[in-house]
Structure 1
Amino acid sequence: MHYLVVDDETRLTDLVVRYLTESGHTAEGRYDGPTGLAAARDPRLDGIVLDVMLPGLGGVEVCRTLRGEGVDVPVILLTARGAISERVAGLDAGADDYLVKPFAMEELLARLRAISRRRPDSTGRLQVGDLVLDPAQQRAWRAGTELDLSRREFAVLRVLMENAGRVVSRLQLLDEVWDGETDLRSNAIDVHVSKVRAKVDRAFGRTTITTLRGRGYRLEIIP
């Protein structure tokens, strides 16, 4: 994997580049927004670590510009502790994830691996472990076996896979799958998640779709 690290803290940038290199990847660093944006257009990149506060051009604007140009490389934003508005702005601009400073190098690398796994491949398919979903064909497979999913079940699985490793709230499922046709008091969401879990997990002896009481659901990323 080849990564780009953009942060005006030169020591931190160099440390991250060195860590990624020692972990078996290749990486390069930039220290301001304009040079970071130019380097981010490299089609060989597998991921970008991008600080929000950059001289010349902020990280959120860099991300927004890339997405506007059709550059779909995964982006992790680095934000200050408590800077919730920055995180929201970054995610709205097209970032895939964020990490609060200070952070552990191991967590950064794990998040880079995670966002790489949940991005569509060149065919448009999503893959998380041995789960594969093809949005165009409306088909899904686990370990090479095709899953028999209803339209709603397919939509639920798609949202979970697009957010693999992250919590998906019942409200998010309501918005993205039901488009407001039901409400949070209905058990339709829980019923459909249960059906998806039966077909995706229990039928294969797996436990990858977990329920987080009071928060929602999460598709665990298992290598």
Structure 2
Amino acid sequence: MRLLLVDDQRDLADGLAEGLRHEGYAVDVAYDGGTALARIADTDAELMVLDRDLPVLTGDAVCRILREQGHPVRILMLTAAGTLDDRVAGLDLGADDYLAKPFAYVELLARLRALARRGRTGGPVLESSGVRVDTVRRVAERDGRPMRLTPKEYGVLETLLAARGGYVTVDELLDEVWERGEERGRTVVKAAMHTLRRKLGPPDVIDSAVGHGYRIEVGA
């Protein structure tokens, strides 16, 4: 998958680009907003990591212009301003996700994987079968009933909804939700799935299939 990385901190941008290439991404780099717009017009980038504070054109301006043009690139916006109001403002501009600096590299990778699955139609609110997740505020509800979820339960639910009816394997759930160094394995996924199902309540909307994983059917 081709990715455009836009950040004026050259050492950071070059380091991230190198790491992402090792992860299998085809990475182009731009150091200012003007170059970013020119570069994306010449590439078929599906993902963009976009710093908000850029020279020439700000990240906000780049994001706004791309959305006005109807460009389908999925945008993960980076910024040092990480308050809830900042995140909401970035998403309102048309960004698909928002990550505050400083960030953990593993979280950046997880969010990029989620965007790659979700596509532009997913948006910051994921919803299916009466289950709704607001990925900005990180809250979930079932048929209008707020749910109190642990971070792992929330991560599993968001990952399943982001797959938009597709199966998510146990290994994919571990990569998305569990950090390296944590206890990892089928047992922890099974335990989180059990408590998540209980909190969702009947009827059960999570389908499982041996050899495929778990999913929430679209419109089930």
Aligned residues: 158
User: Structure 1 residue 164: deviation in Å?
Assistant: 7.1
Equivalent-residue separation in structure 2 for 1:189 and 1:109 (angstroms): 31
8 Å CA contact retained: 2:208, 2:215: no
Matched, 1:88 2:88: yes
| One-letter amino acid of the counterpart of residue 112, structure 1 | L
TM-score by length of 2: 0.60
Equivalent-residue separation in structure 2 for 1:119 and 1:198 (angstroms): 28
Q: Report the aligned-residue RMSD.
A: 3.4
Distance verdict in 2 for CA 1:35–1:8, change over 3 Å: same
Q: Deviations over 1:46-103 (max 9, x none)?
A: 2000000001111111111101100121111111154544322210011011111112
Equivalent-residue separation in structure 1 for 2:42 and 2:203 (angstroms): 42
In structure 2, the residue matched to 1:22 is 22
Q: Which runs of 5+ in 1 are unaligned?
A: 127-151, 174-187, 210-223
In structure 2, the residue matched to 1:190 is 145
User: Structure 1 residue 23: deviation in Å?
Assistant: 1.4
Distance verdict in 2 for CA 1:65–1:13, change over 3 Å: same
| One-letter amino acid of the counterpart of residue 98, structure 2 | Y
8 Å CA contact retained: 1:64, 1:94: yes
8 Å CA contact retained: 2:5, 2:17: yes
Aligned identity (percent) is 41
TM-score by length of 1: 0.59
Distance verdict in 2 for CA 1:41–1:89, change over 3 Å: farther
Matched, 1:200 2:205: yes
Aligned pairs (5 A) from 1:54-93 = 54-93=54-93
Aligned pairs (5 A) from 1:24-173 = 24-42=24-42, 44-119=44-119, 154=129, 156-157=130-131, 159-160=132-133, 167-170=138-141
User: Structure 1 residue 45: deviation in Å?
Assistant: 0.9
| One-letter amino acid of the counterpart of residue 57, structure 2 | L
Q: Which runs of 5+ in 2 are unaligned?
A: 147-198
| One-letter amino acid of the counterpart of residue 97, structure 1 | D
